Structure 1
Amino acid sequence: MIAPPRRAGRRLPGDPGRPLTASVPAGAVGRVLFSTLLVAWFALPLLPLAMWAFADRWSYPAIAPTSFGLEGVRTALASGGLSAFGSSLTLGLVVAVIATAIGALAARALVAGWAPFPKTLTVLLFAPIAIPPFALVMGTNVLLLRAHAPAFLGVVLVLVAVAVPYTTFVLRTAYAAHDIGFEEAARALGASRRQVLLRVHLPLIAPALARAAFLAFLVGWSDYVVTLIVGGGQFVTLPMITASLASGIGNDSVVALLSLIATIPPLILVVLLARTGRRRTT
C-alpha cells in the first residue's frame, strides 16, 4: 500500500516526528528574547560585584582588576561572614514560616467571613505598611526592652509584623479565587478534615503559599534596621556585617563578596518558584 505524500511543513496524524520544514512560532522567539533580556538586566549589575569580590587590586584607570586573589574571601571569613550568613538564613526562614501561617489564617478568615470586625482587622493587619518603619521599630523596641524579650525573639516578632501584610495580601487574593467545592466533595466522599487539609487544600493553595513565603523570607533576609535596633548588636546578620565593612576604607572586595552572596538565596528561591509554576501549568 502506497503511503500518501507529505506536505511540506505539516505533520501527518500519528507521525511522532517533527517535520524539518516546520517553522518556529514568532511567539516562542519573542519569549526567548524577552527572557534573555530579563536575565541580562538582572545579571549585568552583578558582574562588577563578581569582579570586585576576587580583586586584590583594581586601581584607576584600569577597566578590570589588575590582580585577582582570595584576600576578600579570607577577610570575609575572619569578619564572621559565615556565621552572619547562617543567622540571616535562620531569621529569613523563621519569619517566612510564621508570617505565612498567620497570613494564611487571616486571609482565609477574611475571605470566608469568619473574622469578626473584618474592616478593623484589615486595617490592623496592613498598619505596619502605613507606619514609617523607624517609628514602628522605635516604639516596639521600648515594649520589648521592658518585657526583657530575648534579642532574637524581639527581632522575629517585629519582622513577622512587617511581613504579615504581604503574606495576607497574596493569600487573600488566592483564597478569593479558591474553589471550596473540591474540599466539600472530598468530605462528601468520606475524607477526614486532616486528609482534606493535606491532600486537597494545601496542594491547591501551595503556589500562593510559596509566593507568600518568598516575600516573607525577603523581609527577614534583607532587614537591617530592625535587626540593628531591636537586636542591639547581639544578633549579627549578613546585612549588618556588610554595612559595617562598607563604612570602612579598603574593604571593597569584602563588601562586594558579601553583597554577591546575599543575592544567592533569593535567586535560588526565584528559580524554584519559576520551575514549580511551570510544572503546574504543563
Structure 2
Amino acid sequence: MAITLPPTLTQQAPHGPPAQNRLTESRGAGRVARAVTAAALAVWFVLPLVPLALWVFADRWSYPAPLPQEWGTGNTESAVAQGAVPAFVRSLGLGLLVSAVATPLGVMAARSLAFHRTRWSPLISGLLFAPLALPAFVAVFGLNVVLIRLQVPSYAAVILVLTAYALPYTAYVMRLAYGGHDIGFEEEARTLGAGPVQVFLRVHLPLIAPALARAAFLAFLVGWSDYLVTLLIGGGSLVTVPLLVASAASGTGNDGVVAVLSVVALAPPLALLLLLGLKGRRRGGSS
C-alpha cells in the first residue's frame, strides 16, 4: 500500500543560512552596535576634557594659536599657592563624612520601608525625599538661622545639612535594592544556627554590597561637589575645591588655574566611578 505524504513534508526546504547562523550574525551586529555606541559616548565625554588638560600645562595660550605657545607648571603652582591642597583635603573629608553618615541611615530607612510597612510609610517616604523638593537656597537660609542660634559648629552644621540632602539618594538606591532582596536567605541562615552578626556580615552585606557602593558614591558626590551649603552654612571659613573653582572662575585671566582646580575636582569622583565599574565587571565575570 502506497503512503502519500502531505505536500508540506515533500516540499524542499528553502535555501538560506540556518537559523543558528542568523542568530549569530544578529548577536555580532549587536556587539558592533554596542561597541560603536560606547566609543561615541566616550568621545562625547572625553573630548571636552582635552582643552582642560591642555590648559593645565599651558603657561601661555593666546588666540588664534591651536596649541599653547608655552608649556610649564605655572598654573599648578598658582593653584597650590591659592590653597588647592588644603581645600582638597577639606572636600575629601567632607565627602567621606557625609557618605559615612548618610549611607547607613539610607540603608536603615530603606530596609524599614521595604520590610516593615505601616500606615505611616507614605508620610515617612515623603519626609525622606522632601529635601529634593525644597529650593536649596531657601532651605539653607532657614536652616542657617536655626543652626547659628543652636551654636552648632560650622563644620558639623555643613555635614548635618549635606547629610540631609544626601539621604534621599541613599534611601532611594537602597529601596530599589531591597525591592528585589530575598529575605529568605537570612531566615535560612538563622535556621542553620547563624547569629545576627553572622547573618549581617556573611549573608546580608554581600547581597546588598553593589547597591551599598552606589549609595555611598552618590552621598560622596553630594559632600564633595557642594557649593551653596558649604558657602552659606560654613560662612566662608570652610574653603573647599568647589569654592576655589568658583572664586577663580569669577576673575579674568585665570583660565589655567581654573583648569587645574577643575581637574582636581574631577579626579576623586572619576576614580571612584572607574573603581565601581571595575568591581562590577569582576563580579559579573565571576558569577
TM-score normalised by length of structure 2: 0.88
The 2-side partners of 1:179 and 1:271 are apart by 29
What is the CA-CA distance between 1:257 and the residue it aligns to?
0.8
Paired position in structure 2 for 1:279: 282
3-state SS, counterpart of residue 59 of structure 2 = strand
- For residues 33-77 of structure 1, the C-alpha deviation after alignment (integer angstroms, 9 at most, x for no partner) is 222222211111111111111111111111221111111011011
RMSD: 1.5
Paired position in structure 1 for 2:192: 189
The 2-side partners of 1:180 and 1:271 are apart by 31
- For residues 154-204 of structure 1, the C-alpha deviation after alignment (integer angstroms, 9 at most, x for no partner) is 000000000101111111011011000110111111111000000100100
Q: Which runs of 5+ in 1 are unaligned?
A: 1-21
Paired position in structure 1 for 2:219: 216
Q: Hey, which of these two has a bigger chunk of helix by percent? A: 2
Paired position in structure 1 for 2:71: 68
3-state SS, counterpart of residue 56 of structure 1 = strand
Aligned residue among 154, 166, 169 for 1:166: 169
Paired position in structure 1 for 2:202: 199
3-state SS, counterpart of residue 98 of structure 2 = helix
- For residues 228-269 of structure 1, the C-alpha deviation after alignment (integer angstroms, 9 at most, x for no partner) is 000011111000011111112221101011101211111111
Aligned length: 261
3-state SS, counterpart of residue 65 of structure 2 = coil
Residue 118 of structure 1 pairs with residue 127 of structure 2: no
Is the 1:88–1:237 Cα contact (8 Å) retained in structure 2?
Answer: yes
The within-5 A match list for 1:24-39 is: 25-39=28-42
Residue 151 of structure 1 pairs with residue 166 of structure 2: no
Paired position in structure 2 for 1:88: 91
State percent identity of aligned pairs: 56
What is the CA-CA distance between 1:116 and the residue it aligns to?
6.7
TM-score normalised by length of structure 1: 0.89
Residue 78 of structure 1 pairs with residue 81 of structure 2: yes
- Bigger-Rg structure (1/2): 2
Is the 1:245–1:255 Cα contact (8 Å) retained in structure 2?
Answer: yes
| Residue identity opposite 1:42 in structure 2 | F
Is the 1:109–1:115 Cα contact (8 Å) retained in structure 2?
Answer: no
- For residues 109-129 of structure 1, the C-alpha deviation after alignment (integer angstroms, 9 at most, x for no partner) is 001125671111111111000
Is the 1:57–1:66 Cα contact (8 Å) retained in structure 2?
Answer: yes
Paired position in structure 1 for 2:131: 128
- For residues 132-172 of structure 1, the C-alpha deviation after alignment (integer angstroms, 9 at most, x for no partner) is 00011101111110011111100000000001011111110
